[in-house]
Amino acid sequence: MNQPHWHPASWQERTTLQQPHYPSTQALEEVLSQLTTLPPLVTSWEVESLKQELAAASRGEAFLLQGGDCAENFGDCRSPVIVNKLKILLQMSLILIHGLEKRVVRVGRIAGQYAKPRSADSETIAGVTLPSYRGDLVNAPEFTPEARRVDPERLLTGYSRAAITLNHIRALSDCGFADLHHPEYWDLDFFHHSPQAEEYRQVVRDLSHSLRFLKQLGVGDAPDLSRVQFYTSHEGLHLHYEEALTRKTPNRSGYYNLSTHLPWIGFRTAELEGGHIEYFRGINNPIGIKVGPGVSPQWIEAVIDRLNPENEPGKLLFIHRFGADRIEQHLPHLLRTVKQAGKEILWICDPMHGNTVTTANGYKTRHFNHILQELEQAFEIHRSEGTILGGVHFELTGDDVSECIGGARGMSEVDLERAYETQVDPRLNYEQALEMALAIIRKQG
Ligand code: PEP
Ligand code: CO
């Protein structure tokens, strides 16, 4: 079917789910017109180079590690929080490089992961009803009328916090901090007490050995060993914000979303005729789409035609998130549908979002073992279907939080109270994330 002409605002002609209701359209318009004039946060060059990397991942030559908070918050725009997140992603990437013998493409859920879909527009506690918290880009989490007020000024704050975060990441990635010759710079304070410390150190020793070997061969000073490339991603949920950062660039044709390298469409907003798919079909970025139980082969084929009509490699990521108990039932059909249609898809497993449970005392949590089981099954199913699992997508943090159950330290339900900090979904803490990476390579390496 021929689609009508696309422009950055054409999504506004569609029904668009999960958008906040702004009390004043004029106040919103004023903020958006400011945002439109502010510089982009990333460049089309970076976006295109990520697309090349993702194409390599879809061929099995590289592996995507995507991870970060479920929801970033403005208060966490602080050096220790950003640095710790970078450290854990760098450490995990070292483990994966070593075990999978592939280069690893690092993409944070960072520098813009500020808008969240919610199951209801409002929340009622003790007879008081207020708008739901929709992420720091929209309102604040505390249950007060002032905090929950939907405030367009937050779009500008979100843009600034994303810019500050990205600036810090760029500075760190470009200097000695990211030097592969000194992975000890990435050790976190509590690392030395961690049950995984020795296994990780062995990985580092092996890699250092390989680096020395390269040096003897005369290629040890290759510049890409002293800096790392680090990309950003977030759910492209708040379409007024995404539209305001959608730009044309002088040397390329078409539009780019320059608020992030890799925006994705969430599971709840992946309606074929809805505003999100309409917006995403017009941008040149690589794009992710979350895929879960209930998607039909017709939807799959239509979505691919809409989002990647040229069948460009590295352009479209299917991030599947079925849950450990359902992946076996659903994933094979999905893989076969895409394979039979001859379409280029980069397959990513998100083992987090299909495995969320609520404890008796009301904590939203996930079990380490369920996460690992879904991942292991994903590798297995791709292998037996002859497709390639090109990467993983985690909710994690570089801090010592207690949000997911299990792992080597045996985090239990009662332990969750110690440091349960997430405002939305539970994240792997630093040790659990490291352990997850080691578990992946133990099975796949
Ligand atoms: C998320 O990634 O935080 C999220 C809401 O996931 P999904 O769209 O897969 O439910
Ligand atoms: Co989440």
pLDDT of 119 reads 92
Low-confidence stretches of the chain (pLDDT beneath 50): none
Count CB-CB contacts under 10 A for residue 381.
21
DSSP per-residue codes, 179-209: -TT-GGGG--GGGGG-TTHHHHHHHHHHHHH
pLDDT of 192 reads 73
In order of 40, 85, 112, 141, 240, the CA distances from 282 in angstroms are 18, 31, 20, 33, 15
Alpha carbon of 248 to ligand 1 centroid (Å):
29
pLDDT of 155 reads 98
Q: Which helix (H) or strand (E) holds 68?
A: strand 62-68
Alpha carbon of 354 to ligand 1 centroid (Å):
9
Pseudo-torsion of CA 337, 339, 341, 343, nearest 10°?
120
The three-class DSSP label of residue 302 is: helix
Atom of ligand 1 nearest to the CA of 319: 9
Q: Which helix (H) or strand (E) holds 263?
A: strand 262-265
Contact (Cβ atoms closer than 8 angstroms) between residue 113 and residue 72: yes
Alpha carbon of 319 to ligand 1 centroid (Å):
10
Query: What superfamily in CATH does domain 10-124+152-444 come from?
Result: Aldolase class I (3.20.20.70)
User: Using one digit for the tens of pLDDT, what is the confidence trace for 164-186?
Assistant: 999 999 999 887 787 877 877 77
pLDDT of 174 reads 85
**Pocket, ligand 1, Cβ cutoff 6 A:** 70, 117, 235, 266-268, 290, 321, 353, 425
Ligand nearest to the CA of 264: 1
Q: Tell me how far apart the alpha carbons of residues 326 and 341 are, in angstroms, rounded to a whole number.
A: 24
The three-class DSSP label of residue 103 is: strand
pLDDT of 188 reads 72
The pTM assigned to this predicted structure is 0.96
Q: Tell me how far apart the alpha carbons of residues 351 and 323 are, in angstroms, rounded to a whole number.
A: 7
Alpha carbon of 193 to ligand 1 centroid (Å):
32
Question: What protein residues have CB closer than 5 angstroms to ion ligand 2?
Answer: 70, 425
Q: Tell me how far apart the alpha carbons of residues 391 and 385 are, in angstroms, rounded to a whole number.
A: 16
- In sign, the C-alpha dihedral spanning 395, 108, 391, 437 is negative
pLDDT of 224 reads 63
Atom of ligand 1 nearest to the CA of 266: 8
What contacts 278, CB < 8 A, 6 or more positions away?
A: 6, 10, 11, 13, 14
Alpha carbon of 113 to ligand 1 centroid (Å):
11
Domain boundaries of the chain, sorted by first residue: 10-124+152-444
What contacts 236, CB < 8 A, 6 or more positions away?
A: 242, 257, 260, 263, 264, 265, 276, 279, 280, 287
pLDDT of 445 reads 64
Atom of ligand 1 nearest to the CA of 425: 3
C-alpha Rg value of the chain to the nearest Å: 21
